[in-house]
Every structure is written in structure tokens, then in C-alpha cells.
Copies of this chain bind each other. A is one copy, B any other.
Amino acid sequence: MNDVDPQHLRLLEAILFSSAEAMTEQKLAERLPEGADLPVLLLELRNRYSDHGVHLVRAGKTWGFRTASDLAALLRVDRRIERKLSRAAVETLSIIAYHQPVTRAEVEEIRGVQLSKGTLDVLLDQGWIRPKGRRQTPGRPVTWATTEAFLDHFGLESLSDLPGIDELKAAGLLDARPAIQIYGARSGAEERAAAAADSEGLGDGDTEEIVEELADEDGR
């Protein structure tokens, strides 16, 4: 860390400090002189600010200075009544965040009710979700994922910082398939975690394959 160019560091600091929005690593790199080592600079800068009242925080691939969260109680001056998201919108947001990429039908499967109009678009208007590719299943439905603005808003560095995500994964609860598909073929709770672990991290096509495989297994 000693070989950090102090001028580069000051420049990066000034660029980040002057922007209200978190900036992508790509934009930052474009703004720095040729040869500046952005990753090292970012880590060094974050380090230097770690005990300040302002922190350098990462949200996905974006970075920005944000006031330290431990000062929240002291900074919250105008206690304007925050715009409440509906319960449906909060649930939908958490399902998209934890299960992403996830289709509308899967969100409905998990919630057990149809998504009413105005739920997804509230989240879209907030800039918290975005469409992300299509599922390779009949109808090729759009899948939804969260944005970096979502991470930034909730002070998350990355999706793996979502509260409790590891536990939920381990418990097999992050599986958006219809429940009976998960259980139809196998029974016994001990196998559930294994099945879920299998499906996680795989592409959608793979999930389908697994389901078919399980079905075969059952047919034996």
C-alpha cells in the first residue's frame, strides 16, 4: 500500500467526493490518469476513511462516499414520514433480492398470490430492480434482479451481504420452483437441503434438467 500515488489518491478522493451518486469502477477508471491502479487506490482510500464520519462504501461495482451509519441517529434531522412501501412491494423486493434472477411467475408462486399491478413498477421506479435476461423456458419470460442502486440504498456491498442469505440458502429456502416440484419427487426433509444446494448456482436450464432427473428417479 505504500506505493500508492498520493496525487492519484487525492484525485480519486475529489472525484468521489464531488458526486452524489455512487460511481462505477469503469467511470472512475476513465477519469483517472493512465496507469493509475484503481483497485489499490479504492482500497487505500476506503481504509483511510474507515474511522471518519464519512465512509467510502462499495455497492456492487459502484463506489461512493456515504455518511457513517453509526451516526444515523444524530444525522436524521428531518424526520419526514418515509414513503412506506406496501407489504406486497416489500415482499416482492425481498423475493427478487434473495432469489434473483427470478420471474414474475416465480414471485407469485412464492407469495401464493398474483402480483397486482403497480407492485413491480414501484420497485422499478425506485431504480431498485431491473430486467435481467430471459429464462430459457417456454414463453421465455423476463427475469428480474436488483440493481446497484438497491445495494447502495440499503448500504449493502454486495448481494452476499443480504441479511441471513447464507442461512436461507443452507436451509434450502432459496428455491423458487413450485414446492410440489421440489417435493413431488423426493420426500424427507433431509434431502431438501441437498436438492436446493444442487439447484443453486445453476442456470435455469440446469434446474429443469434436475427436475427431469428427479422425475425419472421417481419413475423407477
Q: Which residues of A contact B (CB under 8 A)?
A: 6, 9-15, 17-18, 31, 33, 51-54, 65, 67-68, 71, 74-75, 77-78, 104, 115, 117-121, 124, 130-134, 141-142, 147, 155-158, 160-164, 167, 170-173, 175
Give the chain B neighbours of A158 by CB distance below 8 A. Answer: 133
Q: Is B13 in contact with A121, judged by CB distance below 8 angstroms?
A: no
Residue among A17, A119, A133, A156 with the highest chain B CB neighbour number at 10 A: A17
Q: Is A10 in contact with B53, judged by CB distance below 8 angstroms?
A: yes
- Chain B proximity of A188: nearest CB distance (Å): 25
Q: Is B17 in contact with A65, judged by CB distance below 8 angstroms?
A: yes
Copies of this subunit: 2
Complex Cα–Cα for A173 and B162 (A)? 28
Complex Cα–Cα for A175 and B51 (A)? 49
Give the chain B neighbours of A121 by CB distance below 8 A. Answer: 171-173
- Chain B proximity of A158: nearest CB distance (Å): 7
Residue of B nearest to A74 (CB): B11
Residue among A132, A133, A171 with the highest chain B CB neighbour number at 10 A: A171
Give the chain B neighbours of A157 by CB distance below 8 A. Answer: 132-133
